[in-house]
Amino acid sequence: MQNKRLQLVGVALLGMMVMLLASAPAFSQSCSLCYTQAASSGSRMIQALRSGILILIAPPTGMTIGMILICYRKRNQTRKPDSTDDSRTDW
């Protein structure tokens, strides 16, 4: 039992390492057209770009925080009270 858990943890850690190492090249990729347009634009365009980024990031962030709060408040409504040791076999 303990050996299987240790193997499972090892596989999970190996998978996380592979995911982290595989995503490193993705950070270095960027759109050269977007970069050159942003670099050559004036201060109004840069401010508009910043405002656009905020507008696009605010709704998903708000919805995620809202779902976390709803789940946190409703977390005890689906739990059954522990009455006996038979709860381990009651899947």
Mean pLDDT of 23-39: 67
pLDDT confidence of residue 6:
82
pTM: 0.43
Q: Do the beta carbons of residue 77 and residue 84 sit within 8 Å?
A: no
Judge whether residue 19 has pLDDT over 90.
no
Which residues 6+ apart lie within 8 Å of 74 measured at CB? none
pLDDT category at 41 given cuts 50, 70, 90 is confident
pLDDT confidence of residue 87:
56
Can you tell me the distance from the alpha carbon of 72 to that of 65, in angstroms, rounded to the nearest whole number? 10
Judge whether residue 9 has pLDDT over 90.
no
Residue 28: CB atoms within 10 A of its CB come to 6
Can you tell me the distance from the alpha carbon of 41 to that of 48, in angstroms, rounded to the nearest whole number? 11
